[in-house]
Structure 1
Amino acid sequence: MTDLCVRTRRVLLVSPVSPWPPDSGGAQRTALLHQALARDSSVDLYLLEPMAPEVIEALGPGLIGTFGRNGVLRRAFLRLAGTVSPFLREALPDRRLAAEIAAKIKAGGHQAVVLRYGSTACRLRDLRRLCPNVEILVDVDDFLTQLVEPAESKVGPNPLARLLRQLFAAPVIERRERQALLAADGLWINGWTPAWLNESPGVRAVPLPNIPFHTLEEANIPLSPAATEFLGVAQFRYSPNAEGFDWFLREVWPLILAAAPDSRLRLVGRLPHQPFLERWRNIRGVELAGPVDELSAAYARAGIAIAPIRRGGGTKIKVIEALAMGLPCVCSPHAARGLDRLTGLVVADSPDGFARSCLKLARNEALRRELGESGRRDVERQHSRAVFLAGVRRLLCGEEAA
């Protein structure tokens, strides 16, 4: 397909996450995908959740619709499904939504529709039937089957509930996700893939890694040699992030303070809800900075980044972002998942091991700089905007990998 042909195409990007403001990993990936698609096509945006007026104004005329509330019966049905498994709701088709998206596609003359998340593909399962000539591409990001097991492990001890979820919900979720994704014309995959996809050689699946949204060059600030200035960047209202940092503050931070009393931890990003917020405010050495205008400056004044996330899906953008800024990052095995090829990470699981790793870096400036520089080089090779753009164009434009 020639560049001229591609640029005349109209693409509809359908997402449950707005690209603005880019204050979470999901929003940042949506923004990056929108930017990459717009390099080669005319892109419209449809959001699956109602948006605040300021968000609608910021997105401008490219936003052609948002989905309203479900009807009473649909809401009741989804609540019932949610009692079995919250992910079962994500896997269920929504005929009303599919009909509305199909109408937008026909009215706008779109030749392709890009769906953010496999769960969106499940909701829009009927779109293939309603728009048989439109190319359907899915940015899978997190597979539902990837999210189900760790989340369900947190369910209470009720053996009947566990049995129901294992025997009914999990197989239904996997089957519906498989059907929806195999019906698409192409997939962007971020890391982990289920066995059934590896056994489907006819599927066009292109790697599309998470990449840092911010880079140090944007601020051109030299890195600080601060030894005991730790930094945690996250959307703390996302429960896996809040729970992970709460574990760190309860189990790890006291061990660090006992060995290095002058240590400081700065938490940057949307602050959590109660009871986390009240508990964190009273911890010695912890600054709740909240959202900041210059994220690059926050990285530049720190010596070590931490990512103690213990559950949730996908690769952790903030880990990659820290390395892109030249900071070594101490992280949990879960936060390091899918990032095996990156140096600059120090992986620790137990509270004692996490504290020892943080203190070792704090006491060794040469090691901090070595890990920071090697991690940054790796991110530039594997998780740059050029890599992301190439992955988008490879599927959208039919380009072969270099």
Structure 2
Amino acid sequence: VAEKESYPFIPYYRLLRMPIRAFRILSKSTPAPMQDRSFLTTANIGFIGNGLTPTNHLGIQWFLEHCWEDVRRQLPGVRMRLIGRPPGERMFQGQQVPCVKAEDAHCGWAWGTIYSGVEERHGIDELGYLSAEGLLEEVLSWRLMIVPVLRTTGVNTKILVALELGIPLVITPVAASPFDFDEHETIVAFASQAADFTQQTVSVYTISWLWTQLSRESRRHWEKLASHDPARNDVRNVLTAVCQATDAQGYRSWEPPPIPGEAVRPTLALPPCAKAAAPAKK
């Protein structure tokens, strides 16, 4: 790897990679609190995400519009617990300023749905940002976590929280794509259509053996991700390609693109230099 100062005329690229274990929510010295969790000691459905990110809000909006009514009909008393900055909140002089639903139509997780303004009455709790301790306590109380994200811009770190804590996941294939989930293994519950998402949510919420298996396999997959980097081969291929395109001097040789009708290496045709006049004799 060449230093930029040594070759200032070459484009300088830096590959930044963050290992999965850097996102852990539990300290290595902390006993795993999820060992005390059981099917009957958990309740409710949760989601973690920044509501100012369109993919997060659109996913929750889709779930509320197409799934939530049926979920509540089949699971009386269940609540939707939303962690993260709600849509419409803004920053002013370094302070968070909540939106006012009576003044801003784009306010809260449920805006654009029939639940806007009456969220609590319909089992929707907006918790905002929580401290690390509050986040851990809240998430460990959930029966399951949903990730109804229909489009993604990269790794959804919210999924890592659920995997590490052994929280069963009902998730779209799009949201799960960066995590190498084997669809033939019962690690998470996949669903992309509204009816399937509703049914998977109800099944995981009510079937104890399915909940136990997903909880166990989620944690096992986290340990696999933390000890094995699935991007290792990709990075190896990138470095191999860079080395092959670089000569021994540490820079990439440049070949001019061919121009139709001209030689590959045209010869410069400069006018002959005029001979200098001989100095006059004194």
* Fold agreement, TM-score > 0.5: yes
Q: What secondary structure does 2:218 align onto? A: helix
2:211, 2:31 → 1: CA distance? 21
Aligned equivalents of 1:375 and 1:270: distance in 2? 26
Of residues 223, 233, 237, the one that matches 2:48 is 233
Bigger strand share: 1
Are 2:222 and 1:379 equivalent residues in the alignment? Answer: yes
| Residue 146 (structure 2) pairs with residue 306 (structure 1) | yes
Q: 2:197 aligns with which of 320, 339, 354?
A: 354
Structure 1 residue matching 2:80: 3-state secondary structure = strand
Q: Is contact 2:181–2:187 with CA below 8 Å preserved after alignment?
A: no
CA distance in 1, matches of 2:124, 2:6: 51
Q: 1:112 to 1:330 in 2, by over 3 A?
A: farther
Q: Provide Cα deviations, 1:137-190, integer angstroms capped at 9, x if missing partner.
A: 223xxxxxxxxxxxxxxxxxxxxxxxxxxxxxxxxxxxxxxxxxxxxxxxx5x9
Q: Partner letter of residue 336 of structure 1?
A: A
TM-score normalised according to structure 1 size: 0.44
1:315 equivalent to 2:155? Answer yes
1:365 corresponds to: 208
Q: One-letter code of the match for 2:128? A: G
For 2:117 and 2:27, locate their aligned partners in 1 and report how far apart those are by CA, in whole Å.
29
Residue from 83, 89, 106 that aligns with 1:275:
106
TM-score scaled by length of structure 2: 0.61
Q: Which amino acid aligns with 2:37?
A: L
In the alignment, which residue of structure 1 is the partner of 2:275?
Answer: none
Partner of 2:261: none
Bigger relative CO (Cα 8 Å, ≥ 6 apart): 2
From the superposition, tell whether residues 358 and 325 of structure 1 become closer, same or farther in structure 2 (CA, over 3 Å): same
Tell which structure's C-alpha radius of gyration is larger.
2
Secondary structure, aligned partner of 1:288: strand
Pair 209,324 (structure 1): closer, same or farther in 2 beyond 3 Å? closer
The answer to which structure has the higher helix fraction is 1
**1:341 matched residue in structure 2:** 181
Quick one: structure 1 residues 216 and 301, their matched pair in 2 at CA, closer, same or farther if it must change by over 3 Å? Answer: farther
CA distance in 2, matches of 1:213, 1:324: 7
- 8 Å Cα contact 1:211/1:320 also seen in 2: no
Q: Which amino acid aligns with 2:157?
A: I
Unaligned runs of 5+ in 2: 89-104, 240-282
> Hey, what's the Cα distance between the residues in 2 that align with 1:270 and 1:112?
41
Structure 1 residue 247 corresponds to structure 2 residue 62: yes
Q: Work out the CA distance in 2 between the residues paired with 1:376 and 1:112.
A: 41
- How far residue 364 of structure 1 moved from its aligned partner, in angstroms, is 1.2
Given the alignment of the two structures, is residue 214 of structure 1 paired with residue 33 of structure 2, yes or no?
Answer: no
Query: C-alpha displacement at 1:250, in angstroms?
Result: 1.3
Q: Distance in 2 between matches of 1:128 and 1:242?
A: 47
Task: Note the C-alpha offset of 1:213.
Answer: 3.6
The AA in structure 2 aligned to 1:312 is T
Give, in whole Å, the separation in 1 of the partners of 2:145 and 2:6: 44
Task: Flag the 1:269–1:224 CA change in 2: closer, same or farther, 3 A.
Answer: farther
1:329 to 160, 165, 169: 169
Structure 1 residue 378, shift from structure 2 partner:
1.4
Secondary structure of the 1:261 match is coil
1:223 paired residue number: 37
3-state DSSP of counterpart to 1:241: helix
Q: What is the aligned residue count?
A: 202
User: What pairs up with 1:17-36 in 2 under 5 angstroms?
Assistant: none
Q: Which residue does the alignment assign to 1:197?
A: none
**Conservation of the 8 A alpha-carbon contact between 2:148 and 2:171:** yes
Which letter maps to 2:15?
A: V
Deviation at 1:333, TM superposition (A): 1.7
Counterparts of residues 78-117 of structure 1 (less than 5 Å)? none
Question: In 1, Cα distance between the equivalents of 2:71 and 2:3?
Answer: 52
Alpha-carbon displacement from aligned partner over 1:22-52 (angstroms, at most 9, x marks no partner): xxxxxxxxxxxxxxxxxxxxxxxxxxxxxxx
Q: Secondary structure at the match of 1:314?
A: coil
How far 1:339 sits from its partner (Å)?
2.4
Deviates more, 1:214-223 or 1:235-244: 214-223
Q: Does 1:138 align with 2:15?
A: yes
